[in-house]
Amino acid sequence: MIPAAFFLVLSIVLFVLGVAAFFIKRDLITMFLAVEVMLNSASLAFLTFAGSTASLDGQVIVFFVITVAAAEAAVGLAIILVVFKGKKSIQCDDLDVMKG
């Protein structure tokens, strides 16, 4: 048996790594991957609490998280493609149209 707190700490580590990667990396695809990491850490936290309270509702929530992540990945990647067609670059430093 593994203490449930370990899983929770792992989920926190994943979330913090996702946040750090989101701010450190400068191209849109890698920032998007960081968002996926954060979503997965949320799933892990849900599953941890589902396991420690012996309820199945957490697993259902994780299904919805995965589904929403798939939809979000499709739309986000389409947006990235459109941006790339327009600007020929996906570095977020180049997207300064709305900079005051």
Residues forming contacts to other proteins in the complex (CB under 8 A) are: 1-5, 7-10, 12-17, 19-21, 23-27, 29-30, 32-34, 36-37, 40, 43-44, 47-48, 50-52, 54, 56-57, 59-60, 62-64, 66-75, 77-82, 84-85, 88-91, 93
Least Å from the CB of residue 99 to other proteins: 15
d(CA 88, CA 31): 18
DSSP secondary structure, 65-83, as one string:
HHHHHHHHHHHHHHHHHHH
Q: Which residues pair with 27 in a beta bridge?
A: 91
| Least distance CB 79 / other proteins (angstroms) | 7
Q: Which residue has the tokens 């589902």?
A: 50
